[in-house]
Structure 1
């Protein structure tokens, strides 16, 4: 079977689709998938063994440069790549208008969520096959439920999660990657608390490592590292370069951000910090049999000393 997955963004949403593909590949012999994804996240789908071809799209960048001839040439090249093959099913698991408009350009029957389930109900009108998946489910389970219905196999609600991906990474036994950046300010962990946590990690013989995805995050990382001897700041780098650093880390501590979900996919132990979002719906989910990922949202438990104590317990450290 030849499947086209349309899940373009964001980073966390792309990661959340991986277990559904693992499910499908396990029950459908010879399943081969192509995947349409935003260019900035194109490194992720190709990690999955069922993905044959990654088709990058650049909607975010194209929107800002519609007056350039090069943009239109890229759009034509994308359409040509999208239509290079016919598919047994085109599965739009994003179910937004922008993704539905990509789906209609592909060659094959289209499936997605029904109007009651889709984030943008109008998108459902572009699908020949429409399925329900409750909005209050965790995103991983919503993807698994949709994919199972669209491909015609049964899914147990409590079926274990398997992302099906790994990354080649050198082990960094002392490094704890601290994922402090997120797109929404209300989801941030206070900078002062990060500073206290970094000091506690260093005192325990660990190295807090602060990546940065933009100038604001880079400035914050610089301040945190300047205030904590023993902490390290990573330069801004492409996702493909950051992945092995996360995959090889001793542990990860992070806010509700796509990189935290990627750490879960790579089987890293750690703690997710959720001061503003519900971890039941949005928390990082550890793969079955992988080290523990603990998600916390209680204000008291979010205090740096408690976060550090929880991490040390997960890692078997005594301080």
Structure 2
């Protein structure tokens, strides 16, 4: 009989990317693992990319909380509750350790595992688990998630993290798969963020753009909303071979990232996705720390700066130079 497992990790984008190596570990060490994953609808594409995930169950907290008691939202919540009650899992594993994830865990049937009081981001969540695990808080998120899964299933994580994103890889000598990026070599740039305190100076971006274009790369900038699009457009005014990409779904963005020579971006979920896809990636940290969320991947990565201490232009350009030296054609 398969071992039926429910993973609860609903958000956000970067956190779901950090989860993927733990899923690869479980698939490798648990015979017959049948893994379902409960995720926020905005990010539900990400679990679906992993070949070991059987079913992605969608939750819509972000949308529901705008009209929690409306009839349509009550109906959606009731349908989710029924779906969780319809299947009995051998293991229900909360890898988020928040009250909102513990609420979902309690609705599922099966032995409930999660972090203990000292390890959980919201300690009260630990009261809702049948089995609690100690995983030290201040360590990189990818390592922390791999250790939690290993503690639950009784194995020791080994080897480099495997993000399970091979579906996006391009095999040398073969034509690109449908939807994969083609054409001249390019760099992906993520210059925008939801908060102004994360932004990097315009003149520093311009110096990096000069460096990339002198290396023969086009520039493809990502933007998530109208304000970010306007900012990105202003950064490339009068530059040839530079475009702001239209808004796309996560799978389309992943294809763009997988086809890039390298990526340079602010600390964001998409920058972490680039690293997970095995592309050389330079991350700029300004309002967050890389101590717990460094870039992790199979290619060159640089996690530069820290909270309140942005990296210098020279530091970023040195990292870009090294990334260019280690970046084979996509």
Give the TM-score, by structure 1 length.
0.91
Residue 239 of structure 2 corresponds to residue 235 of structure 1: no
Please, which runs of 5 or more residues in structure 1 have no aligned partner?
none
Question: Is this contact kept in 2: 1:173–1:249, CA < 8 A?
Answer: no
Question: Is this contact kept in 2: 1:172–1:249, CA < 8 A?
Answer: no
2:255 aligned residue (222, 244, 260): 244
- Partner residue in 2 for 1:6: 8
Structure 1 residue ranges, 4+ long, deviating more than 6 angstroms after superposition: 298-301
2:122 aligned residue (120, 123, 127): 120
- Seen in structure 2, the aligned counterparts of structure 1 residues 230 and 300 have a Cα distance that, compared at 3 Å, is farther
Separation in structure 1 between the aligned mates of residue 120 and residue 126 of structure 2, nearest angstrom:
7
Quote the offset at 1:172 in angstroms: 5.2
The number of aligned residues is: 312
Quote the offset at 1:171 in angstroms: 4.7
Question: Is this contact kept in 2: 1:197–1:305, CA < 8 A?
Answer: no
- Seen in structure 2, the aligned counterparts of structure 1 residues 170 and 130 have a Cα distance that, compared at 3 Å, is same
Quote the offset at 1:19 in angstroms: 0.8
Separation in structure 2 between the aligned mates of residue 54 and residue 172 of structure 1, nearest angstrom:
33
Quote the offset at 1:44 in angstroms: 0.6
Question: Is this contact kept in 1: 2:219–2:241, CA < 8 A?
Answer: yes
Quote the offset at 1:223 in angstroms: 0.9
Deviates more, 1:53-62 or 1:164-173: 164-173
- Seen in structure 2, the aligned counterparts of structure 1 residues 83 and 195 have a Cα distance that, compared at 3 Å, is farther
Question: Is this contact kept in 2: 1:186–1:276, CA < 8 A?
Answer: yes
- Partner residue in 1 for 2:175: none
- Partner residue in 2 for 1:161: 161
Separation in structure 1 between the aligned mates of residue 90 and residue 163 of structure 2, nearest angstrom:
23
- Partner residue in 2 for 1:307: 316
- Partner residue in 1 for 2:305: 297
Match runs of 1:1-319 below 5 Å: 1-155=3-157, 159-168=159-168, 169-171=180-182, 173-286=184-297, 290-297=298-305, 302-316=311-325
Quote the offset at 1:234 in angstroms: 0.9
Separation in structure 1 between the aligned mates of residue 47 and residue 69 of structure 2, nearest angstrom:
30
Question: Is this contact kept in 1: 2:271–2:281, CA < 8 A?
Answer: no
Separation in structure 2 between the aligned mates of residue 210 and residue 307 of structure 1, nearest angstrom:
17
Residue 133 of structure 1 aligns to a residue in which SS?
coil
Please, which runs of 5 or more residues in structure 2 have no aligned partner?
169-179
Give the alignment's Cα RMSD to 1 decimal. 2.1
Encode CA deviations 1:128-164: one digit per residue, 9 max, x unaligned: 00011111011111111111111122335xx421112
- Seen in structure 2, the aligned counterparts of structure 1 residues 234 and 93 have a Cα distance that, compared at 3 Å, is same
Separation in structure 2 between the aligned mates of residue 227 and residue 273 of structure 1, nearest angstrom:
25
Separation in structure 2 between the aligned mates of residue 160 and residue 105 of structure 1, nearest angstrom:
34
Separation in structure 1 between the aligned mates of residue 167 and residue 197 of structure 2, nearest angstrom:
31
